[in-house]
Amino acid sequence: MEQKAYTLQDRAKGFGTFLYGHKAIAAIALLYLIMLFYSFGNTTSFFSSYSQTLIFQKSTVNIIVACGVTFAVMVHSIDLSIGGMLALSGVLVIKFMEVMPAWLAIICTIAIGMLVGAVNGFFIVHQKLEGFIVTLGMGVLLKGVALQLTNAHPISADLSFNDLAMGNHLVFGLAKIPNMVIIMLLIVLIFSLILRYTQFGRNIYAIGGDYGVAEYAGVPAVRQKWMAFILSAGLTTVAGIVNSSYLCAGNANYGDMTAMIVNCAVVVGGTSMAGGVGGVWQSAIGVLFFSALEITLQNLVPNAYIIQLIQGFVIVAILFLDSYDNKRKREQV
């Protein structure tokens, strides 16, 4: 009897440490719990398949962005240019499609995105400027370009472009899943594997954990840190294309909140701003958390201003936890 109680307690403790290590999963679980209790006394559409699909759809674009940003945060930096990049790439791909076939337009847009990432990398890695300011400035610049290109009006794409994101096929003969979700899942899978199992991925951890040590150990630190920013911008471009296809339109004002939300989501997911700790799938969970939070709040509080207030509060609270955790770890050293 006593033996069994002990193992149960042990398992509970193990589960506790897991939740502590994966705060975003714990937070999502908490949200669902809240909604579960709420649904006992009130009518809510939260558990309807519509709402649940909405959480995923809302997340898809941001998760693709977050995959890239994870690399930038992993190397102990940040990428705030993604907001502007998301808007610009959505506009660019539509503009390109007016003069060239869709596949070429997509390739050209991604190439431009990677170029922007390379420029970010040049300033941050090569010139050793502060990543926060460089990418913030770059984001403003990119949005400016997008505004100029569109004359600040939304532009619409050919309706067939919508198929890229919303076309669906039977997967394993089970359910029809929109392409954009499949693209997102593939990207999460591929980049998770790259980060975890390749030499490049392992070096990214080392560069973020301690740049000097990595350099001494023969890691091509400059090149691979640079690569992190190229990936960040490149994947954001992919997200921008998917977003435009989903909405069948391009708008320079898309992504105004993306930079903040995604960077927060990456950190909330468990990628430390101190670098060297984290992962791609954790970031995806972080984004899911923010989408779930938004839908939950829409169910609980009708006032949109209050929603934003609570979102902001949650972001600060989680960043505080992260810094508290880091401080505790530093003191152990």
Q: Which residues bind another protein (CB under 8 A)?
A: 194, 197-200, 202-203, 205-206, 209-210, 212-220, 276-277, 329, 332-333
> Smallest distance, Å, CB 325 to another protein?
12
| Site of tokens 């869709």 | 102
> Smallest distance, Å, CB 315 to another protein?
23
How many Å apart are CA 258 and CA 132, to the nearest integer? 15
How many Å apart are CA 4 and CA 12, to the nearest integer? 12
> Smallest distance, Å, CB 215 to another protein?
6
How many Å apart are CA 98 and CA 5, to the nearest integer? 68
Contact at 8 Å (CB) between 246 and 184? Answer: no
> Smallest distance, Å, CB 25 to another protein?
21
DSSP codes joined into one string, 75-103: TT----THHHHHHHHHHHHHHHHTTS-HH
Considering beta carbons, is residue 105 or 273 the nearer one to another protein? 273
Considering beta carbons, is residue 146 or 207 the nearer one to another protein? 207
How many Å apart are CA 212 and CA 299, to the nearest integer? 49
Considering beta carbons, is residue 214 or 297 the nearer one to another protein? 214
Considering beta carbons, is residue 210 or 256 the nearer one to another protein? 210
Contact at 8 Å (CB) between 286 and 24? Answer: yes
Considering beta carbons, is residue 41 or 218 the nearer one to another protein? 218
> Smallest distance, Å, CB 217 to another protein?
4
β-sheet bridge partners, residue 168? 178
